[in-house]
Amino acid sequence: MANGLPNPLLTAGAARSLVDSVDAFLFDCDGVIWKGDQLIEGVPETLDLLRKMGKKLVFVTNNSRKSRRQYSKKFRALGLEVTEEEIFTSSFAAAMFLKLNNFPPEKKVYVVGEDGILEELRLAGFECLGGPEDGKKNILLEANFYFEHDKSVGAVIVGLDQYFNYYKMQYASLCIRENPGCLFIATNRDPTGHMTSAQEWPGAGTMVAAVSCSVQKEPIVVGKPSSFLMDFLLKSFNLETSRMCMVGDRLDTDILFGQNTGCKTLLVLSGEKLLLLLFHMCRIILPIMPNQVSNAVWTCIAIAGVTTLSELQDASNTIHPDLYTNSIYDLVGLLQQ
């Protein structure tokens, strides 16, 4: 706690102390490394500096749309060299949860989600159905219509799904309600996410909530802030959680995940302070600005970080990071002072 405040701003001294006290940095991806397919300014320089300082870098994302292989490909497309072994996704966590809990090989998995979950399940040796293909299927609620489902489904995994529809919700619900012992697994419960660089979109939590409401049952959550991902990470790297720093833009997932597992925590606002200044300027100058200019300014405001400074400092907030800053690029400037 600095200056009596529960949320100390990252300073040059705090940055040096943080880097000296940890061996590994765990980075969230959406809103920290990129927004949609757009790399956030200064990310390559920051990651290069930390690697040169001998720090282990791990990327931990709740976004289940891609597998680890697919995320590695995305990193390369953005000019970042990151191996599959450095990536931990909620889609991978869901597959590993089943494997570590000896899910019966004769049982199938129904997926409300996208290719990332399907690929990780198949790599782990599980038979799965659902996914994007079921997004093309429709239901006609006619008299005496009976919906068939596979009785051999032993687990339903719900993640982010841009193809989510009524068909999938009914299929998942029937499996959970009617198949004895069927597991209900959620990759994560994020309410929103940076699916594009222009704005936030509904997150996996909205799909999970729909299925949960239908079956009147809470899911097993394998992504952040659950400690399951950390347990698996620790088996992969010889590291202590007290020597790790979790870096993210969400209080209720990233920062809570770090706190739950004993890591140091750094919240990034990813541009929110600058955008607050733009917002106050716009209140004065927008009436006299041409439409095309004002529209561009409002677009900038729309891409602010998930957690705002006002939310962080609100008296009702109970999740406080060890440090906060505007973006991870701030580390470069502060460490060079």
pLDDT of residue 2: 39
Residue, of 329 and 310, whose pLDDT is higher: 329
Q: Is 52 annotated as ligand-binding?
A: no
What fold characterizes domain 2-62+226-335? Rossmann fold (3.40.50)
| Annotated catalytic residue, options 28, 134, 190, 330 | 28
Task: Record the pTM.
Answer: 0.85
CA-to-CA separations, 15 to 18, 47, 51, 52, 308, in angstroms, rounded: 5, 15, 15, 16, 21
Closest CA to 95 of 207, 229, 217, 230: 229
| 153: exposed, middle or buried (Cβ count in 10 Å: 0-12, 13-18, 19+) | buried
**Strands 153-158 and 183-186, how do they pair?**
parallel
pLDDT of residue 70: 96
| Span 51-63, average pLDDT | 96
Res. 196: pLDDT tops 90 = no
Mean predicted lDDT score pLDDT of the chain: 88
Domain with CATH 3.40.50.1000 in the chain: 2-62+226-335, 102-221
Q: Is 28 annotated as ligand-binding?
A: yes
pLDDT of residue 295: 40
Q: How confident is the model at residue 236 (pLDDT cuts 50, 70, 90)?
A: confident
Closest CA to 36 of 274, 230, 270: 270
pLDDT of residue 199: 84
Is 28 designated active site?
Answer: yes
| Annotated catalytic residue, options 20, 30, 254, 314 | 30
Q: Which helix (H) or strand (E) holds 299?
A: helix 291-302
Residues 6+ apart with CB under 8 A from 273: 309, 326
- Which of 28-42, 61-75, 193-207, 262-276 is the least confident region? 262-276
| Span 67-91, average pLDDT | 96
Q: Is 37 annotated as ligand-binding?
A: no
What fold characterizes domain 102-221? Rossmann fold (3.40.50)
Q: Is 322 annotated as ligand-binding?
A: no
